[in-house]
Structure 1
Amino acid sequence: MQSNVSRHVLQEIEPPACWSKEKSIKNSLNWSARICTVMEASMSSEECIDFFFKPESIALIGASPNPEKLSHTILESLRKMKFKGKIYPVNPGYREIEGLKCYSTPGEIENKIDIAIFAVPAKAVLEVLRGHVENIKGAIIVSSGFRETGLGGKKMEDELKALLKEKGIRAMGPNCWVYMILSQTWTPFS
């Protein structure tokens, strides 16, 4: 039931289509506060999804130095928009990406992660979530390869939902565009 409430609220209170990059931070904060107000009618304040819109830390699962990879585009976008929070690249194949320490798993990150953005194949999303991810509050799963691929993908999506529920992670996705309110703008990452 809880996930249905979240889905309903997110669909119901999309930001106005007329918003542009020039809109003030006041409007962004008002919209974010509106989400929390609506959510709190059915959830405790600890369950508010405000961290999706004002994250202080982001882990990029599947980070890559390759400019042709989506994860690199996301990292580049975070830097261009001067994201002030912590960015944690996660990929066991690298020690560092663009001057940032790279972690093998989210569990190696000692701090809390407001949002983990998953830009890895569907099976890898499940592998990561089976591991130590207790430090992740929310996930944005950009990855495709779930329900839209047929019965096998539907089974993986069902497992994804079960893992997210078991780990207490709120999520957007899978197979979604990444939009976030950071500072004053709506920013598409993909």
Structure 2
Amino acid sequence: MTNPITKYRDDYAPLLESKALDGVIWGKDKILLFRVLGDTEAASKLAFQTSHTFSFSPDKETIKTKDGNVIRDNGTETEVSIEAIQKKGDPLFGLLTVAVLEGLTLEVWEVTVDEDLKTEAGYPAAYARGQLTAWEWPAGAEEEATVTGTLLVEGKPKWGYTPLSADQETAVEYAFRDAGAIPTEA
């Protein structure tokens, strides 16, 4: 008998690679990048992300029959919840606010920025499209103003690899620089 997971090997390759199971993946190494569907600019990172969650909720229904229960599969709903601290002047915060108000479809990437998992194609990533169904700006008196949101995914997420531009890499975390003189451009 053939392993039933074999038929999914190509679609889910980044998830099924043995390398992906070596060691610990830290939450701080997983970032979300966003872009409005149809925009041609590079995707952007929401500043000061504190956490996010990909939730997969299979919709199963049990039907009682005279011969026993039968399970009906009504598909799987996928959501991405987002939490961040609001940053002054973050253009993506404004863009996501417009997206929820105008019902725009967003693209989202969850990129695992881990050098051990990086390939020639880039970093492992999940990709999805969907719309924000919630976007809140909690603002307590004695804490940072935050933002929380929920993106409802259309269809199934896809897995693959994505490179990050120099600007995207900088948005993740600044890199080490030596203390030598910095050459100026002519």
- What TM-score, normalized by structure 2, do the two folds share? 0.24
Larger Rg: 2
Higher strand share: 2
Higher helix share: 1
- What TM-score, normalized by structure 1, do the two folds share? 0.24
